[in-house]
C-alpha cells in the first residue's frame, strides 16, 4: 500500500500529461482545418475579383469601340 501511495502522484501526472497532449493535438488539427478553409475562401475571392475585373475591362473596351 505504501508503494501505491508513493507512485500515485506520478501515475496521476502521467494521465494528466497524456490528456493534455491529446487535447492539444485535436485543437491543432481543427486550427489547420480552419486555416485551410480560410485560404480556400481567399483563393475563391481572388478568382472572383479577377473575373470581375476582366469583365469590366471587356465592357470598357467594347464601350469605347462603339
> What is the rounded CA–CA span in Å between residue 23 and residue 17?
10
- pLDDT digits over 26-51, tens only? 776 666 667 788 889 999 999 999 99
pTM: 0.45
> What is the rounded CA–CA span in Å between residue 62 and residue 56?
10
How many alpha carbons lie under 13 Å from residue 60 in its C-beta half-sphere? 6
CA distances 64 to 52, 58, 59, Å, are 18, 10, 9
Residue with the three cell numbers 494521465? 15
Q: What is the pLDDT of residue 61?
A: 79
Amino acid at each position: 500500500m505504501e508503494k501505491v501511495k508513493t507512485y500515485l502522484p506520478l501515475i496521476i501526472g502521467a494521465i494528466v500529461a497524456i490528456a493534455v497532449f491529446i487535447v492539444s493535438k485535436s485543437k491543432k488539427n481543427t486550427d489547420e482545418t480552419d486555416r485551410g478553409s480560410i485560404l480556400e475562401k481567399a483563393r475563391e475571392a481572388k478568382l472572383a475579383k479577377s473575373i470581375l475585373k476582366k469583365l469590366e475591362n471587356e465592357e470598357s473596351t467594347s464601350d469605347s469601340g462603339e
